[in-house]
Amino acid sequence: MPSDKNRIDRFEEDLINLLPNLRRFALSLCRNPDIADDLVQITVERAFAARNHYDPATPLAAWTFRILRNAWIDMTRKTRNHGAQIPIDDMADGPSVDGRQVTEARLMLGSVEAAMAELPDQQREVMVLVCIEDMTYAEVAEILETPIGTVMSRLSRARINLAKMLGIE
Partner 1 sequence: MTYSDDILMALADKELPADMAARVQAAMEADPDMAARYAIFVKSRAAMAGLRRTPDPAPEALVAHVRRLAAEARAEEARSNVVSLRDWRRIPALPMSIAAAIALAAGLFVGMQTAHDGGGSELAGLGQPGLTDALGQLPSGERKPLKGGGEMVVIGSFLTGDGALCREFEYDGPDGRTLVSVACRQGESWETRLTIAAQASDDGYAPASSLETLDAWLTATEASPVLSPEEEMAALQ
Q: Which spans of this chain sit near partner 1 (rule: CB under 8 A)?
A: 4-5, 8-9, 11-12, 15-16, 19-24, 37, 40-41, 44-45, 48, 51, 109, 112-113, 116, 127, 130-132, 134, 136-137, 149, 152-153, 155-156, 159-160, 162-163, 166, 168-169
Nearest distance in Å: CB 82, partner 1: 23
The Cα–Cα gap between 90 and 20 comes to: 33
Q: For residues 43 and 69, give the distance between their C-alpha atoms in angstroms, rounded to a whole number.
A: 9
- Closest distance of CB 60 from partner 1, Å: 12
As measured in angstroms, the least distance from the Cβ of 66 to partner 1 is 18
Distance CA 161, CA 168 (A): 10
Cα separation, 101 vs 86, in Å, equals 25
Q: Which is nearer to partner 1, 56 or 149 (CB)?
A: 149
Q: For residues 24 and 66, which CB has a smaller minimum distance to partner 1 in the complex?
A: 24
Nearest to 67 by CA among 154, 144, 155: 144
Q: Which is nearer to partner 1, 21 or 70 (CB)?
A: 21
Q: Distance between CA atoms of 36 and 50, rounded to whole angstroms? A: 21
